[in-house]
A = this chain, B = another copy of it.
Amino acid sequence: MKYSHLFAKTKKSIPSDATAVNHQLLLKAGFIDQLAAGIFTWMPLGLRVLRNVESIVREELNAIGAQEVMMPALIPKGNWEEGGRWNGIDILFKMKSQTDKEYGLGFSHEEVVTPLAKQYIHSYKDLPVSIYQIQTKFRDELRAKSGVLRGREFGMKDMYSFHVSLDDLHEYYDKVIQTYFAIFSRMGLTKVKMTEASGGSFTKKHSHEFNVLTPAGEVDLAYCDNCSFAENSELSTHIEGESCPSCKKGTLVVGKGIEVGNIFDLGTRFSDSFKVTFTDVDGTIKPVVMGCYGIGTTRIIGSVVELFHDDKGMIWPESITPFHVHLITLPGGVEKGEKIYKELQSKGIEVLWDDRNDVSAGVKFADGDLIGIPWRFVVSSKTGDQVEVKKRSVTESKVISIEDAIKLF
């Protein structure tokens, strides 16, 4: 795509409530636009990142046999009542139709998925089953904050699994834990700590949170500098400097994290409400055991920006970058640049070409750094038949042949 044609250009003026780094950079670079507090439009560049995040989530979940569906956001009051959550959930947006039908907007979908699965679960042969959706969620947050980290409308992957027993659930639960680490890692989020959680509004049972370590986080963590041990500081009895209670080798460190995923052992909490049972091998009727698993897709983008940026702008991991190459043409390089642009595209390499002829080289470089595409190619009268190639994450560049530049991908 040509930058001159791109709908949303970079901008300097952003709302004064944008104090978080992800909020500022995503707005400035034109990845998102703020309609109201906690409510955003995903602009062309931001939407490309979001689609990449979604694809990784989808691939990894499909690989463990989960199936994708799309449930509605508009959920009748009756479902919420049957699930026991119409009252007492302050973040539930409620509304009334012209004919006084009442609905709550989905912030989580147990009240839809449980009666849905009930239709297809009769015998132990129908289990286990795991279904998910990647969908827009709504939460009436008292205070939206931290950019795309806590919004009133946001993207989420929510998955629900159904099992014959707690043992079977726990086996799948452990598989999902591995899958979650794989998903985060593919997006460049390698410093993720899993902690046991209190369970929020869902359950008092087993549940875990996945936290990306960053000073920009909201969650206080105590974690081992040697092994995977980590606890939410609010629930932890351990303090900084203590020897690790798990590996006995490392030392506990206190730090902050952003919660990007969570998993819950729902037990029979919702299958009891919606009376979901199955006939077991021995002919007895038993309640189905459920698990649920969330990943904040838009929140992940905020986390990546908090982790990967410098004072010039964002630095996208190659797996979710909006484009592979940011091509900048300067005087004397336009014609050659166009050739490279077409050649890269013909190889399936996605290019954002800053083809503007009314701004300085300095402006182009600054916009390139702000947008944060991992590879920058510069073509000018100085580069001859070659191209100047630079990674966004380093300062050194090198001038190489176009053939060699293409081999980078």
Residues of A at the B interface (CB closer than 8 Å) are 5-9, 11, 33, 35-36, 39-44, 47, 50, 65, 67-76, 79, 90, 93-95, 97-99, 101, 103, 105, 112, 116-117, 119-120, 129, 131, 136, 138, 140, 142, 152-153
Contact = CB atoms under 8 A, between A and B. Distances in A.
Nearest first, the 3 A-B pairs at minimum CB distance are: A95-B95, A42-B70, A41-B71
Contacts of A65: 5
Contact of A33 (B36, B75, B116): B116
A72 B116 contact: no
A350 to B, nearest CB: 13
A41 B72 CA distance: 6
A19 B23 CA distance: 49
Contacts of A75: 35
Most buried by B among A74, A79, A129: A74
B153 A98 contact: no
A101 B71 CA distance: 26
A93 B95 contact: yes
Contacts of A33: 116, 119
Query: What secondary structure prevails in chain A residues at the interface with B?
Result: mixed
A85 to B, nearest CB: 16
Contacts of A116: 33, 35, 41
A35 B80 CA distance: 12
B79 A112 contact: no
Most buried by B among A41, A72, A101, A117: A72
A140 B95 CA distance: 11
Q: Assembly of this chain: how many copies?
A: 2
B42 A76 contact: no
Most buried by B among A41, A44, A47: A41
Contacts of A120: 7-9
A41 B67 contact: no
A11 B122 CA distance: 13
Contacts of A101: 36
Contacts of A138: 73-74
Nearest to A4: B125
Contact of A112 (B9, B35, B94): B35
Contact of A6 (B8, B67, B95): B67
Given A95-B94, A138-B74, A131 B39 contact: no
Contact of A41 (B44, B69, B93, B103): B69
A73 B70 contact: no
A70 B47 contact: yes
Contact of A90 (B39, B41, B98): B98
Nearest to A39: B72
A11 B119 contact: yes
A80 B75 CA distance: 24
24 contacts: A6-B67, A7-B67, A7-B69, A7-B120, A7-B131, A8-B120, A11-B119, A33-B116, A33-B119, A35-B71, A36-B74, A42-B70, A43-B69, A47-B69, A50-B70, A73-B73, A73-B153, A74-B138, A74-B153, A93-B95, A93-B97, A95-B95, A98-B140, A99-B142
A42 B8 CA distance: 32
Given A9-B120, A43-B69, A44-B69, 16 more contacts: A5-B65, A7-B131, A35-B75, A39-B72, A39-B76, A47-B68, A47-B69, A47-B70, A50-B70, A73-B153, A74-B138, A74-B152, A90-B98, A93-B95, A95-B105, A99-B142
